[in-house]
Amino acid sequence: MAVAPPSYCFVAFPPRAKDGLVVFGKNSARPRDEVQEVVYFSAADHEPESKVECTYISINQVPRTHAIVISRPAWLWGAEMGANEHGVCIANEAVNAREPAAETEALLGMDLVRLGLERGATAKEALDVIIALLEEHGQGGNYYEDANSCHSFQSAYLIVDREEAWVLETVGKYWAAEKITEGVKCICNQLSLTTKIDAEHPELRSYAQSQGWWTGEDEFNFSEVFSPSDDHLTCCSGRDTLEKQEESITVQTMIDVLRDKASGVCVDSESFLTTASIVSVLPQSRSSPCVHYFTGTPDPSRSIFKPFIFVDDVKLVPKAQSPCFGDDDPAKKEPRFQEKPDRRHELYKAHEWARAVLESDEEQGQKLRKTMLELEKQGLEAMEEILTSSDPLDPTEVGDLFYDCVDTEIKFFK
């Protein structure tokens, strides 16, 4: 069985989070050399009976999809994490379970993240979308751009809006979900739901019994029943990092947690690296906009979190998008992944220089890091002003916000 990379997703609700804000964060741990891009798609109407081509399969399109901004491995259709115009954020985790994941090509967990964002205007709606598509199409296929072996996983999701969050954990088409409205929650690459289950697949328990994994007499504990026997829960290292915070949790707290290598939340190992990160702030008051910070580059401890706000006229950011290879993309041809094209975008290439400096030259590296944090701080302070202001948001001011931040970062690295 492939080893699931140790990614982490977090959410903090008031009063643990500050100023009536819900704070969401995720580190995406993926193969070290994989490029992630940050892409915006505007809301769209679709023809009746049209199809949408996901990573491996096509499914029926819906009449209207919401505007979304996502961070995704550049070779696939779906998303590791992202947000939509209604203040819904979703991230997923590859998990191992007692039942091996299907290698047959179906929907990837990452496709379901994007489909949930495109089709759900609340966290609960997105949950229902994912569950229905899982039932109809199943999940399966290679999670990595790797011709030599198929790395397939089950999936867990953290689905968040301004009012509540749902943790959804899946094994094949079977699933369980827990609703969260307070405190702090962390999910990682292991099943975490135990006995508090607020919704579940109607045949979940009978299936567990039929497999001999549950007697039907003991209390039903989802992760105990479905986790591989050798899985020991180490996921809590991430949760501990966030729960140890004595003060209220802010955007900066979440960024600091995602940058923490000592706790294991920021992955930098021989096989895996945190290839991209997101932090989102969802004010419970609907008069304030949600703000989503993306790195679009690897290793959050050496990256700049850049803000994005949904408005009607968002300026696209080609410099954070990978080259498009169309039908010639080796990920779209069968047999798949016979070649690995260069998927680096302009921001990624500029950032490679910065990473090299930070790693090799102590004096120049410290200077560079200081300036990078200063750039980030300016963005955080500008967003803080928007969130605390009583004036309505001027869309013309923020339509090119992410574009400008990426542009400034590239110029600065040059």
| Residues involved in catalysis | 9
- CA dihedral (70, 71, 72, 74) in degrees, to 10, reads 110
How far apart CA 9 and CA 160 sit, in angstroms, is 11
Residue type, 65: T
Q: H helices within 331-361, ranges in order?
A: 346-360
Contact 275, 35 (CB under 8 A): yes
Inter-helix orientation angle 123-137/109-119, to 10° = 130
* Tokens representing residue 272 in the block: 């895996």
Neighbour tally for 180: CB within 10 Å:
19
Structure tokens at 361: 């030259």
Do the beta carbons of residue 192 and residue 165 sit within 8 Å? no
The partner residues of 139 in beta bridges, in order of sequence, read 107
**N-term to C-term CA, the chain:** 43
User: Is the separation of the CB atoms in 170 and 155 below 8 Å?
Assistant: yes
244, 262 in Cβ contact below 8 A?
no
CA separation for the pair 405, 372 (Å, rounded): 12
CB 310 within 8 A of CB 66: no
